[in-house]
Amino acid sequence: MGNKAADAVSSLLCCPCRCLFCGVFSCLFSVLTCVLFAAGLVALVLYLLFRPHIVRAAAVSADLTAFTLTPRTWILRHNLSVDLQLRNPNKRIELHYHGVAAQAYYQGQRFADTDLPDMYQCTGETSPPIAVAFGAGESPLVGGIAAAGFRREAAEGAVFSVDVKVTAHTKLKLWLIKVPGPKTKIDCPLRIHRRNDTADGDTPPQPPFQPTECRVWF
Ligand SMILES: *[C@@H]1O[C@H](CO)[C@@H](O)[C@H](O)[C@H]1NC(C)=O
Ligand SMILES: *[C@@H]1O[C@H](CO)[C@@H](O)[C@H](O)[C@H]1NC(C)=O
C-alpha cells in the first residue's frame, strides 16, 4: 500500500515532463529539469516585467535658503529643500513605498536627514513633486579639505554640490497580488545655487535650478 502511494506520487511528479524524456532519463532527473525550467521561466517573466521598467526619479526643483560655514569651528548651517518626481513606467505594477528616508550629503558627509510619508504610485504614473524638506539645521563639517571645498564653491558663485539620497522599501501590487519588493535607492547629485534674498540690483540674476535625473537602483 505504501508502495502504491509512493508510485502515485512519483508518477504525479514525473508526469509533466515525462513525455520529454520518455525512457531516456530517470524520473528524478526529469523532475529536476522540470523544476529548473519552471524557475527559469519565472525568473525570465520577472526580469521582463521589472528590468526594462526601472522606476525613474528626477529632482525638479531645489531651494537652498541657507548654506554657510562658520569660520574656525566649521559648523555648516543649512536649510535645504528639494522636490523629487518619481515615474513608474510599469503598465501593470503599482508601487507602495514605505519607510522612506532622505539624507543630504556635502563633500561626502551627511549633514541632514528626514523621514518621508509613505507613497503610492499607480501604473504609468508620474507622481506630483514630493517635497523633501530637510529644514534648517547645523552640522559639523569634518576636515580641512571639505572646508576648503566649501570656500571654493562659495567663492565660485555660491553653487554647491549637494548629494541627496533617498532609500525606501517597496511593495509591488500586480493585479490583486501584493508582494514585498526590493529596497530602492535613489541618488541625486545636485548643483544648487544658494538663495540670496539680500542681493542688490548690481548682482547678476541667480541661475535657475537645472532639473537633474537621479540614479535609481535596487
Ligand atoms: C527654511 O527654508 C524654507 C524654504 O525652503 C523656509 O520656508 C523656512 O522658513 C526656512 N527655515 C528657517 C528656519 O529659516
Ligand atoms: C548676497 O548678495 C549680497 C550683494 O551682492 C552680498 O553682499 C552678500 O554677501 C550675499 N550673501 C550671501 C549669503 O551670499
Q: Determine the residue of 79, 81, 162, 194 to mutate for testing ligand 1's pocket, defined as the one with the most ligand atoms within 8 A of the Cβ atom.
A: 79
Evaluate if residue 20 carries a pLDDT over 50. yes
Name the pairing type of β-strands 177-180 and 130-140: unpaired
Contacts of 218 (CB under 8 A, 6+ apart): 54, 182, 183, 184, 185
Whose alpha carbon is nearest atom 4 of ligand 2?
199
Helix-strand-coil percent breakdown of the chain, rounded to 5? 25, 45, 25
Ligand closest to CA 65? 1
Q: Can you give the pLDDT at residue 55?
A: 84
**What atom of ligand 2 comes closest to residue 203's alpha carbon?**
5
Lowest mean pLDDT among 90-94, 119-123, 144-148: 90-94
Instruction: Return the closest-CA partner of residue 214 out of 80, 64, 108, 85.
Output: 85
Instruction: Return the closest-CA partner of residue 195 out of 136, 146, 108, 142.
Output: 136
Q: How far is CA 52 from CA 46, 56, 58, 171, 216, in A?
A: 10, 11, 18, 18, 13
| Mean pLDDT, rounded, for 61-66 | 94
| Mean pLDDT, rounded, for 156-185 | 90
Whose alpha carbon is nearest atom 8 of ligand 2?
199
Which backbone phi and psi does 10 adopt, to 5 degrees?
-70, -35
Which backbone phi and psi does 136 adopt, to 5 degrees?
-80, 145
Is the minimum distance from the CB of 113 to ligand 1 under 6 angstroms? no
Q: What is the pLDDT of residues 71-104, one digit of tens each?
A: 989 999 999 999 999 998 888 788 899 999 999 9
Q: What is the pLDDT of residues 23-48, one digit of tens each?
A: 655 777 777 888 888 888 887 777 66
Whose alpha carbon is nearest atom 13 of ligand 1?
136
Centre of ligand 1 to C-alpha 128, Å, is 21
Q: Can you give the pLDDT at residue 51?
A: 54
Is the minimum distance from the CB of 81 to ligand 1 under 6 angstroms? yes
Q: Can you give the pLDDT at residue 1?
A: 46
When comparing pLDDT for 2 and 4, which is higher? 4
